[in-house]
Amino acid sequence: MAYDTNNIFARILRGELPKIAVYEDDLTLAFMDIMPAVEGHTLVIPKEAAETILDLSPEGAAATIRTTQKVAAAVKKALGVPGIMLAQLNGTAAGQSVPHLHFHILPRAHGLEMNFHGRKMVDAKVLMPVAEKIRAAL
């Protein structure tokens, strides 16, 4: 199957849709999930067009992992949580809902419900202060 250039993350990368970015470099972008499973739910995507990890170049994979590691550390520090859950799904059968490779960074603490995908969209006003904390921790 060919990469869908009109998927939501491709449109965000082209600037056609808004985002609350926390980190960006030449190869990757990290931004707040607008349907967060938990406070601080952050996504990391490669700028390379790749639907799954199997479609991503080794260089793109290395860059995406570097950014995921960097941003995950910032999320953990910014939110003062004892744990971070990383998730990366490949294909609809695995639960992938956007056909562009992405990592979920989910802050974890004892007692938090283990939701994976959020159920409703959150207003940007709620996400902005969390994004500021993460940026400050980078």
Residues listed for the chain:
138
In our burial notation (b when 16+ CB lie closer than 10 A, e otherwise), range 26-60 reads ebbbbbbbbebbbbbbbbbbbbbbbbbeebbeeeb
CB neighbourhood size of 63 (10 A): 20
CA distance 117 to 37: 5
CA distance 67 to 22: 11
Listed by start position, the domains of the chain span 8-137
3-state secondary structure of 52: coil
Q: What's residue 114's pLDDT?
A: 63
Indicate if 41 belongs to the active site: no
**Secondary structure percentages of the chain, helix, strand, coil, to 5:** 35, 20, 45
Output the CATH code of domain 8-137.
Answer: 3.30.428.10
Q: What's residue 31's pLDDT?
A: 98
The one catalytic residue in 41, 100, 102, 104 is 102
Q: What's residue 77's pLDDT?
A: 97
Mean pLDDT for the chain?
A: 93
CA distance 136 to 57: 30
| Positions in the chain whose pLDDT score sits under 50 | none
Q: How far is CA 111 from CA 17, 37, 82, in A?
A: 34, 14, 12
Q: What's residue 120's pLDDT?
A: 79
